[in-house]
Amino acid sequence: MPLTIVETDLHVRRRGDGLLFIGHFALGFAAKRAAPRLSLAVLFAAAQLADLMWPFLLVLGIEQVRIDPGITAFTPLDFVSYPYSHSLLFLTIWGVLFGLICAGVVRDRRMVGWIAALVVSHWVLDWITHRPDMPLYPGSEKLGLGLWNSVPGTIAVELTLFAAGVWAYVRATRARDRVGRLGFAAFVGFLLATYAVSLGPPPPSVTVLIVFAVVGAGLLLIWALWFDRHRTPII
């Protein structure tokens, strides 16, 4: 199945791609207290696992998205089909598998439950924000509460959740040096700035969307890995 895009006048001012849903980062930050031996990058990867798999499934033609400005007030993305990266069933499976890997690395069985919950949390947050396009399993009915139909409501909820997650991370760790302090502060500032930029025009094509998603996610995970190594968990 080829990548598809709805032809539209991209000069019309619409809300941006909405990929940087900072609520997912918020839960990654907050999970540091429960999983202090895991890198923040791993926790972010768990919370964003659905979105990390999604671009590759788009390229393979297994899943499909369209750019349709106006489909919601907040994002122009029409998630036509993504049952393997975003369904509740498959996220539960991926979460358990990822949790088993993490538990094996740190030799702590409790990580299976924590990581699995973090992976599945992606479905819960998307269910709150998306229009009814979230599948329970491949071929199931699609659900969604539609918070994205309200731009002020979306921004208020996401920023509140993000602030709570950052606060939890600050309470769970302390900086050992300038990298741990300034690298972390710059990361938070960059997320907020990128979130503000994402409220602008839509991406010009699905290809650009995919490249942005892959490259952006990779750089953010490396950045989080770097500064988190310079912070000490507060047990």
**Contact at 8 Å (CB) between 53 and 94?**
yes
Q: What's residue 20's pLDDT?
A: 59
Nearest to 160 by CA among 26, 45, 21, 18: 26
- Reported as a pLDDT band with limits 50, 70 and 90, residue 85 is very high
Q: Select the more confidently predicted residue: 25 or 200.
A: 25
Average pLDDT rounded to a whole number, residues 199-223 = 91
Is the confidence at residue 174, as pLDDT, over 70? yes
**What is the pTM assigned to this prediction?**
0.91
All structural domains of the chain with their residue ranges: 22-233
Q: What's residue 17's pLDDT?
A: 45
Average pLDDT rounded to a whole number, residues 59-86 = 95
Token output for 176: 């050992």
Average pLDDT rounded to a whole number, residues 34-60 = 97
pLDDT per residue as tens digits for the range 195-208: 988 777 888 899 99
33-47, 176-190, 202-216: least confident range: 202-216
Phi-psi region of 75 (alpha: psi -120 to 50; beta: other; left: phi over 0): beta
Q: Which residues contact residue 22 at a Cβ distance below 8 angstroms, ignoring those fewer than 6 apart?
A: 158, 159, 161, 162, 191, 192, 195
CA 196/CA 109 separation, integer angstroms: 39
Token output for 218: 């990779």
CA 187/CA 180 separation, integer angstroms: 11
Burial 15-37 (b: 16+ CB within 10 A, else e): bbbbbbbbbbbbbbbbbbebbee
Is the confidence at residue 6, as pLDDT, over 90? no
Is the confidence at residue 110, as pLDDT, over 50? yes
CA 115/CA 31 separation, integer angstroms: 9
Nearest to 34 by CA among 172, 161, 166: 172
CA 172/CA 177 separation, integer angstroms: 16
